[in-house]
Structure 1
Amino acid sequence: MSASRHRITGDQWRRARLIWDYSRMGHTLVPADVAIGLGSHDLGVATACADLYHSGLFPVLVFTGGNSPTTRARFPRGEAVHYREHALELAVPDAAILVEPHAENTGQNIRLSRDLLAATGILPETVLLVSKPYMERRSFATARKLWPEAVIQCASEGLELDAYVESIGDGKLVLDMIVGDLQRVIEYPKLGYAIAQDVPGRVHAAFESLVRDGFTSRLIP
């Protein structure tokens, strides 16, 4: 067992993997009018955007995200700004990138990116959302609520849970984030923030078990 997992039992790891697999949409990607890289603590989102751009899946890329308490130290100039810089290092041309530097949550990521695109004369019919792996389903549900006229696809780095934990370096933190994201998938439709998603019973049970075990730092009240 790696150092990043040493506080996590085998059962907890199995339950986390159930949620991880559920959270990924498994879309077969086809060319889109634009892609939107959703800001977060994870620079891997920008890496995935660059890889997908170079594969020819879209001509225009929006990076969206300001700052939050969890990203301010890592990305002091803002999530979208640092994402852009990383994409430029990976040979994405500057002319292909738009930056939305104000969004503070996923709903704002979607709305403000749509507004920025419209202001530049781009009214996409197909949108590829690029996020952290465990955030794909919540991103999809949010975009389908706020941008129902667009066809939404989701993508992320092609990492399995073990490799993702290694890339972040903190297994407890990753499981906390996975649990928190699923809670939002469950609760946000009731608040009008997203469309409802069917959560299989075994996934819901895994969520409740991990909450009881204390993976709670990213839960909403």
Structure 2
Amino acid sequence: MTANEDLEVLSAYLARRDDGALTEPADVIVLMGSAVVESVEVVADAYRRGIAPRILVSGGIGHSTRHLVEALAVRGVEVAAAGRAEAEIFADLLRRDHAVPDAALVVEPHSTNCGENATYTRRLIDRPQRLVLIQDPTMQRRTHASFERAFADLRGTELRSHAAVVPSIGPDQVGAAGNGPPIWSRERFTSLLLGEVYRLRETGYGPLGRNFIDRVELPATVLAAFHRLSASRPPRPAGGD
């Protein structure tokens, strides 16, 4: 397989999209902060269509924050961003550009990684609910695993994931398929994908490693693509978190 095909394999696997996530009714849409500004429109559209009556925006200041600020500038989006949590920025965009009322928004501005997104969200939810998780596509599968761990004690909770965009991989840059400016350089995108597969392994963030998530069964095709792509570079976690 070519490097591009291997990237497609990893990207498609990590960008988890569950059937019915944005078509069946839910109680809360949980939007994770990230550098993927397009996720705001995805959530706003789901809210307008009545998928869920509440939006919980989770994300503090972390490794993606400076990339978010850069993405806003590239897109010409004027919003107060300096020194602010990703969740606060996204909530402002939902209010201002999509008329989402304050009553429908809950902002969690302290989490700095996927695990904390899940842990801090769990603290704000005290009964079983149907949650739709919206995240940067490179982190969607690990986010789902983190929420499964955090909500294991709240029996009856339903989790569905929907990666905010489907990445389109070009020779130098990667963006949302058929829409808008690039989101990542190809080099950064590659590093992020390799870092995510590393984290999802049992010896990464799984039970035999840092024990942040439960065991994730990685398909053989994903592991093979990971090994081929990382053969000439150390399989280090990229991007923090």
Normalised TM-score (structure 2): 0.77
The residue aligned with 2:54 is: 60
- Please show how residues 69-218 of structure 1 align to structure 2 within 5 Å: 69-72=63-66, 74=69, 75=81, 76-88=83-95, 89-118=97-126, 123-148=127-152, 149=155, 150-162=157-169, 165-166=174-175, 167-186=182-201, 187-190=204-207, 191-214=210-233, 216=236, 218=238
SS in 1 for 2:174: helix
1:19 aligns with 2:10: yes
Note the aligned Cα RMSD (angstroms): 2.3
Q: What is the Cα deviation at residue 64 of structure 1?
A: 0.8
Unmatched segments (≥5 aa) in structure 2: 70-80, 176-181
Q: What is the Cα deviation at residue 69 of structure 1?
A: 3.8
Letter aligned with residue 221 of structure 2: R
Letter aligned with residue 50 of structure 2: G
Alpha-carbon separation, structure 2, partners of 1:101 and 1:130 = 16
SS in 1 for 2:164: coil
Normalised TM-score (structure 1): 0.84
SS in 1 for 2:206: helix
Alpha-carbon separation, structure 1, partners of 2:150 and 2:132 = 15
Q: Which has the higher strand share?
A: 2
The residue aligned with 1:3 is: none
The aligned length equals: 207
The residue aligned with 2:40 is: 46
107-116 or 64-73: bigger deviation: 64-73
Relative to 1, partners in 2 of residues 1:20 and 1:169: Cα closer, same or farther, differing over 3 Å? closer
Alpha-carbon separation, structure 2, partners of 1:157 and 1:180 = 19
Q: Which has the higher helix share?
A: 1
SS in 2 for 1:134: coil
Alpha-carbon separation, structure 2, partners of 1:160 and 1:109 = 22
Alpha-carbon separation, structure 1, partners of 2:100 and 2:141 = 26
Letter aligned with residue 104 of structure 2: A
Tell me, yes or no, if the aligned pair for 1:47 and 1:86 is still in contact at 8 Å: no
Unmatched segments (≥5 aa) in structure 1: 1-9
93-102 or 189-198: bigger deviation: 189-198
Tell me, yes or no, if the aligned pair for 1:44 and 1:132 is still in contact at 8 Å: no
The structure 1 segments of at least 4 consecutive aligned residues displaced by more than 3 Å after TM superposition are: 213-217
